[in-house]
Structure 1
């Protein structure tokens, strides 16, 4: 299968590398020092089990060079999706599937508005992946889910599932893709928000009664918003998120937390900010998400260059 990875960070590098390893024709869209390192030394993937290098690697910063593909994996940050949708166009042919793999729940609609809903599959992944240094990605674990936006069973989704199964990745097609997206959203929104506001790794805030209670409150608010939007998220979603919270590595920090702590632009507007926005539109109370969002907003605006802190 001919596959393009748009955004070769931790997620894109990991899944793209695994696909290339088993023989698929994978093009990586990257930029800067990461792209240069890939050209010079290939793409190194380190997992808990092994380490391998894709070399030579097909990497570029220009989607036009790639042309039409069978699948585009969109692995950019949530705040980059609208711009990515326009850049992806040269790679989208009549039968191209475009799979969303970033945090949040708004990417499928954003991509559909630009590319047309017939091309878009809702998708999500659970993996602890990040760039160690230019040209080198580390990934811990990894699972992926995707499906048609109308939840129908399709031949193309079945074929894509087989492709990912060939890599050894845990892959599934949920009965309701939007419910699956919101279940992950419930989890990552809490991890990101609480981690960002405390600056603490998971082992600290999950074991402190006060912040563990905040996890429950934040998650209940997301569940209430999902219900108001008629998304059938399971009542067990919070317990499942808490179970995952207790299993992640003690030093785990969500990507939004890492970005905020490093003074970089983050996904705040598409995580806790999105909960606040949805809640206001639907008349649902979300006081804890609002507190987190408003408390982190000055740092987010500073990272975007929209606010200066006096020295």
Structure 2
């Protein structure tokens, strides 16, 4: 079994470290970190350190590489890059993917599977969909800090299909993993949390804890969630008031100082951000369905002022 983790950032580093640590003495399972630059050099020399509240894991993969010819064909590929990178990274590593390869994208969005399918006009691999509930960041090359969130992976495929071996592999590594045949609903429920939170933390420069503490920010967060609910419901994904309450309650699962990935990228003046995934997508879908997204339009204005 050959398992690749593409993108060793906060999410990929969390999953990769747990997998490499669990299977380091298993000669039948290869864990491959697909990464480059300083991250590849540090991991190749010293391994990957995962810091959590109660433990440090030092994990050494079977291989850390960005060379398809060294990686070879993969049985399972977990993609943990940012959503905007999907087309380019898949193009770069197509030689590692066969029609039997199972791919699970863990991006913060709704349409990762569709994006991947466009890259395989003939003989596509087995593309599932997935998400993870976690706050985890790169502390420095080779060091990942898991800040909060359960690190739970939910993956699946709408309709028929089941992949118990994938669940077994991840669970053996201590990763809470569930398969579902209703994955689109799960993706929208996560989007209901991460998109409004990314928007408000980035627009106002506040942490998760500050949002939870300030009534005016909580009201604005709820308004953003109502707009996501309205957009989702036009896609026949019925989000309820209870889903909004559940999303609001999830704030308590994260540290006071936690920041969204979009916020971090904007603060660090990254050349690309996930604004298109979190903000532009909702506004565009709202316009298409004639839904008022005034709260998102305000967030878009405030964030654009920060980045222009």
Aligned-residue offset at 1:106: 1.8
| Runs ≥4 residues deviating over 6 A | none
Q: State the match for 2:294 in structure 1.
A: 287
Where 2:159 maps in the other structure, the secondary structure is coil
Aligned-residue offset at 1:244: 0.5
Q: Say yes or no: does 1:4 pair with 2:4.
A: yes
Q: Say yes or no: does 1:151 pair with 2:180.
A: no
Distance in 1 of aligned mates of 2:167 and 2:274: 28
Aligned-residue offset at 1:213: 0.4
Q: State the match for 1:66 in structure 2.
A: 71
5 Å-filtered alignment, 1:39-50, equals 39-50=44-55
Contact 2:30 2:62 in 1 (8 A): no
Q: State the match for 1:307 in structure 2.
A: none
Q: State the match for 2:126 in structure 1.
A: 119
Out of 215, 231, 243, which is 1:237 matched to? 243
Contact 2:188 2:232 in 1 (8 A): yes
Q: Describe the shift of the 1:56–1:165 C-alpha distance in structure 2 as closer, same or farther (beyond 3 A).
A: closer
Contact 2:97 2:125 in 1 (8 A): no
Question: Aligned residue pairs: how many?
Answer: 298
Unmatched 5+ stretches in structure 1 = 303-311
What do the CA deviations read for 1:26-76 (whole angstroms, capped 9, x no partner)? 111112211111122111122223212123651012233211111111110
- TM-score, scaled to structure 2: 0.92
Q: State the match for 2:39 in structure 1.
A: 34
Q: Say yes or no: does 1:193 pair with 2:199.
A: yes
Distance in 1 of aligned mates of 2:255 and 2:205: 16
Q: Describe the shift of the 1:199–1:162 C-alpha distance in structure 2 as closer, same or farther (beyond 3 A).
A: same
What do the CA deviations read for 1:141-180 (whole angstroms, capped 9, x no partner)? 41101001x33232xx211111111112211123410110
Q: Describe the shift of the 1:232–1:64 C-alpha distance in structure 2 as closer, same or farther (beyond 3 A).
A: farther
Q: Say yes or no: does 1:133 pair with 2:162.
A: no
Distance in 1 of aligned mates of 2:211 and 2:134: 20
- TM-score, scaled to structure 1: 0.91
Q: State the match for 1:177 in structure 2.
A: 183
What do the CA deviations read for 1:227-251 (whole angstroms, capped 9, x no partner)? 0111233442111110001332111
Distance in 2 of aligned mates of 1:71 and 1:115: 16
Distance in 1 of aligned mates of 2:225 and 2:238: 15
CA RMSD of aligned residues (A): 1.6
Distance in 1 of aligned mates of 2:240 and 2:180: 13
Contact 1:218 1:288 in 2 (8 A): yes
